[in-house]
Structure 1
């Protein structure tokens, strides 16, 4: 991406991933201090709300879908299949976190909303800010 689209867009993507996958979920975890469900199927530590996996996967796959749609995918069928496939990945990750009993359903929903909010904010910054390419809109 750095070579094809330039350093500004690579920084924009990296900042989006860092914010949605790490920064915002960790801030909320340390504000809410919600304990994880009892008897998880895998050993895990830390706080539960929001799900970092749900936030991270939503941010990563959602943002990656946008990048692919904007800059790489040309076929109409690909522009339909890729977002559906990525949404399925996100949903499966969210379900797995609840199945493993490491999160409550509200944790994964909140994590997904964090990811969606991050992508929305990132798109707004792209449209109105420093990272915009000539004549390229989201």
Structure 2
């Protein structure tokens, strides 16, 4: 375990050491959850507009995916594991924390968990021919995740674990979405 932690710290220091004024501003913007609210609003609107009642089930399922990912990451793992964020870890020395440090604990990244919960759930909903939009969703989730390392608030391991939680909750929510949409006639219109 010590070797994994040492690798995670070394990778963090390498990724966090490359800074520029342009990327500082870009990563702060990418990492800001409020910047993405219009995107979420459009997504919800499209689900409801095109799928009517089934769209509402999609929205509820997507909300469950994100809510569960956020609860597991912030409500359970951060206080239980209690791993310091890189910007709070004095053992690392100087960390480029561009936009403040946030809470004390960072394992796992809620940003990564939530972004991957959204991206994977929507990817699973989309037809196969929508490959370009699927790639854009993955790039979006990866950009948000990487921004957390760039900003000095998460280790790469925090991001990886958060992404895995988001992927798992998306799959679980998709499973229940499909079961509900098949079983209950109300959601089929």
Give, in whole Å, the separation in 2 of the partners of 1:17 and 1:2: 18
The correspondence for 2:116, drawn from 41, 54, 58, is 58
5 Å-filtered alignment, 1:104-119, equals: 104-119=155-170
Cα displacement (A) at 1:120 = 1.5
Verify the 8 A CA contact 1:41 1:102 in the aligned structure 2.
no
Q: Given the two structures, how large is their TM-score scaled by the length of structure 1?
A: 0.78
Cα displacement (A) at 1:89 = 0.8
Extract unaligned runs of 5+ from structure 2.
Answer: 1-46, 88-94, 184-189
The correspondence for 1:48, drawn from 96, 99, 106, is 106
Verify the 8 A CA contact 2:78 2:108 in the aligned structure 1.
yes
Give the structure with the higher percent helix: 2
Q: C-alpha root-mean-square deviation of aligned residues, in Å?
A: 2.3
Tell me the number of residue pairs that the alignment of Structure 1 and Structure 2 aligns. 125
Q: Over alpha carbons, which structure has the higher Rg?
A: 2
| Alignment correspondent of 1:24 | 72
Give, in whole Å, the separation in 1 of the partners of 2:163 and 2:53: 28
Verify the 8 A CA contact 2:116 2:163 in the aligned structure 1.
yes
The correspondence for 1:120, drawn from 171, 176, 181, is 171
The answer on 1:12 being equivalent to 2:74 is no
Q: Given the two structures, how large is their TM-score scaled by the length of structure 2?
A: 0.58
Give, in whole Å, the separation in 1 of the partners of 2:154 and 2:160: 10
Give per-residue Cα distances to partners, 1:80-102, cap 9 Å, x unaligned: 10110111111111211111111
